[in-house]
Amino acid sequence: MPTLFQVGTLVAFLQGIYESDYNFAKLATHGNFGLGTINAVDGEMVAVDGDFYRIDAEGVASIIPPAQCTPFAVVSQFKPVPAHAISNIASLAELSTVLDALLPTPNIFYMIRIDCELEWVQLRSEHCQLRAYRPLAETLPKLQTEFKLQNSRGTLVISRCPTYSEGFTIPGYHYHYIDEQKKTGGHVFGLKLRSGQVMINPIRRFDMVIFAMVALPRD
């Protein structure tokens, strides 16, 4: 049965627990497709076709070493399925509405891949958090960087979790992107899509590992 595998809990991550002993070599045994971050929230993570990429604060993509660890990530073994063609999507909100219409039910988990051509996409990544760690809402606005790509081809990596999952994971749609050359990407917060091929993997099993996490003392 397809499984959505998660490292850590969303609640812990939001509270400032940004380090784990769970490495990407272990994570890769549970999935070839997904998204998340790296210890100390040192950029965004995108996994496509079994390769795990870090997108740094300048938007530059690089392969993540297997020994690197993650405090929060979701992955699955993505299976190619018949694709749905979409086009002329004016916003991220409109894309979410289009995807909703393609789902058989809103009450299970999904991993979604869209190979696409984008007129533009607005992205975010971030500089690493510094000890003593503070809750994410306090630090992210200061450390994140935003950038925009024009006329980009690549892959949208999307998780969609049901509303009842709030607390232990991210409910609703969570969008990351990596370009065709695997040179840049990040967390998506805006786009205009010219065309795309949507592949949807429904998932009815959720597994989570709680790593050896230590809440560091705060000032």
* Domains, the chain: 3-209 (3.30.1330.80)
pLDDT at 214 over 80: no
- Provide the residue type at 131 as one letter: R
pLDDT band at 153 (very low <50, low <70, confident <90, very high): very high
Q: So what's the pLDDT on residue 57?
A: 96
Q: So what's the pLDDT on residue 211?
A: 76
pLDDT at 194 over 90: yes
CA–CA distance, 147 with 171 (Å, rounded to integer) = 25
Work out the mean pLDDT of the chain and round it to a whole number: 94
Q: Are 58 and 44 in contact (CB under 8 A)?
A: no
Q: Are 104 and 165 in contact (CB under 8 A)?
A: no
What is the SS3 assignment for 142-188? Answer: HHEEEEEEEEEEEEEEEEEECHHHECCECCEEEEEEEECCCCEEEEE
Burial 180-199 (b: 16+ CB within 10 A, else e): eebebbbbbeebbbeebebb
Lowest-confidence pick of 35-39, 92-96, 138-142:
138-142
pLDDT at 213 over 60: no
- Give pTM, 2 decimals: 0.94
Comparing 175 with 212, which gets the higher pLDDT? 175
Share of the chain above pLDDT 90, in %: 91
For residue range 63-91, list pLDDT tens digits in order.
999 999 999 999 999 999 999 999 999 99
Residue 96 three-state SS: helix
